[in-house]
Amino acid sequence: MSFKERLENEYCKTTTTAIVNEICEQPKKMDELMQLFVEGPLRITQRAAWPLGFIAQRQPALLSNYYDILIEELHKEDNHDAITRNILRALQYTKIPKKYQGKILNRCFEFLHDSNQPIAIHAFSMTVAFNLSKEYTDIIPELKSTIEMMLPNGSAGIKSRGNKILKQINKMSL
């Protein structure tokens, strides 16, 4: 059964895990998943986005040919939160190529400054921005102050992720 048929028929962790395992064993199948991710329809795009984070966690290099697509999707204003969330989840596991770092970093800060974004998008944006701050240390003060501003009214998830990152930032500055 094709990825499209599986994603149309059943949307569950078992299906996602099977797709992730198949792609990790046969990396050429990543093209099939990304084609579904781009072409949709929306429901299929959302469902195709879910495996991205797990693939990136196991084999981050499999995303290397798709940064243009991921960045384009991150910048779509009308995207479903699941698409944005899963792209950011994937990016936290990758070594983002230099030519994409600025666009991704700027977008992460836009998400962090937008109080209407869901908790997971804030949390993953923090992590991606923090990972990039190791290379761009001049952004650390802005990242630190952004996180500190989010903490007082943040959810438990934001407070947990924010405090962990602030602890790591403070260790870097010693």
124/104 Cα distance (integer angstroms): 12
Please state the φ and ψ torsions of residue 78, each to the nearest 5 degrees: -100, 15
Please report the pLDDT score of residue 77 as a whole number: 87
Please report the pLDDT score of residue 174 as a whole number: 58
pLDDT along the chain (174 residues), means of 10: 91 94 97 95 94 96 97 92 97 97 97 96 98 96 97 95 96 74
Burial class (CB in 10 A: 0-12, 13-18, 19+), 105: buried
91/135 Cα distance (integer angstroms): 15
Please report the pLDDT score of residue 166 as a whole number: 97
Are 34 and 69 spatial neighbours (Cβ–Cβ below 8 Å)? Answer: yes
pTM of the predicted protein model: 0.94
